[in-house]
Amino acid sequence: MNPFMLTGFSFLAFYLVVGILVAWGLRRWIISSESNGAPAQNLTDPYLIAYLRAGENEAMRVATVALLDRGLLEANGEQIKTKSSASVEMVKRPIEKAILRKFLAAGEAHELFKDAGAKAACDSYRQALLKDGLIADASTYAKRALPALMAIGLMGAITWTKISIAFSQGRHNVGFLVFLTIIFAIVLIYIWKRRLTGRGNAMLADLKDLFSRLKGRAKTLRAGGQTNEAAMLAAVFGLSALPAAHFPFMEKLYPARSSDGSGCGSSSSSCSSGSSCSGGCGGGGCGG
């Protein structure tokens, strides 16, 4: 049966399935083509892991929480302050030094995200991840561009063909089809623009497997900075993985942080976007 002869919900269902398969195929191609080789370094720095998972600001958040846990920073509501000027000399990592210098005078946590010293310290993490092929650079996006354009072109071609047939038959109720096309175009662009490479996704998945037991006993963690377990847990799974009862300052400093710092963009999340669209189509005719 010619699928372009389908009408209403039947064609929308067909289009939705095709869109899901196209998004899934693009995502799988990106993962498989970018997963070759192993990173040159072993990821043991929690701030590097946090940068890998969610970027520059997340590395700063995790570093700030680690310094608060170790007592080198002090929190007072939404304000934080370096305990003493001597604290700056007690740390070795550039990002920690930058944070402690920034808060020698009390300030709000979000002010750190614009601090030149902290941003410069984070750039070394970015360069390390780029070198290992864990996050995308200009060449990565260029390599993804043709398959992404082909995927968008395919969805657009299906839409154009169906609309042409519908108009030739005197039917003009194609609004939901156009809406679905826009949704899938956005999803495909999002997949193309994902900052993690296939290798980066694999590394992050390995880290989550490696530290799954730590996450399972998260409620037993205590503040005090005696170990780096809290920093590693926050780096791999996000700040919300830390027990709020033992790290109460986080609720005011960084409210409503997501558990993994990631957005949608996988084929499964693409599916949910499309499903919600189709669910609103209602009766027949919405697909031309």
The more confident residue out of 248 and 211 is 211
Residues 58 and 182 in one domain: no
Give the span between the Cα atoms of 9 and 12, in whole angstroms. 5
* 187, 273 contact by CB (below 8 A): yes
Strand, coil or helix: 196: strand
Give the span between the Cα atoms of 256 and 233, in whole angstroms. 17
pLDDT tens digit sequence for 14-58 = 999 999 999 999 999 999 888 876 555 567 899 999 999 999 999
Q: Is the pLDDT confidence value at 276 over 90?
A: no
Residues 125 and 141 in one domain: no
Q: Which residue type is seen at 209?
A: D
Is residue 210 a part of any domain in this protein?
A: no
Cα 180 from chain centroid? 23
Q: Is the pLDDT confidence value at 261 over 50?
A: no
What is the pLDDT at residue 104?
92
What is the pLDDT at residue 197?
93
Is residue 25 a part of any domain in this protein?
A: yes
pLDDT tens digit sequence for 95-117 = 999 999 999 999 988 899 999 99
Residues 73 and 120 in one domain: yes
Residues 97 and 227 in one domain: yes
What is the pLDDT at residue 35?
80
pLDDT tens digit sequence for 147-162 = 999 999 999 999 999 9
What predicted TM-score, i.e. pTM, was given to this entire model? 0.77
Residues 50 and 81 in one domain: yes
Tokens 């949704």 belong to 183
Residues 73 and 155 in one domain: no
Count structural domains, the chain. 2
Is residue 284 a part of any domain in this protein?
A: no
User: Which residues does residue 80 pair with via DSSP β-bridges, in sequence order?
Assistant: 75, 107
Q: Which residue type is seen at 51?
A: Y
Look up the domain containing 190 and give its range. 3-37+136-194+266-279
Residues 31 and 63 in one domain: no
Mean pLDDT over all residues of the chain? 83
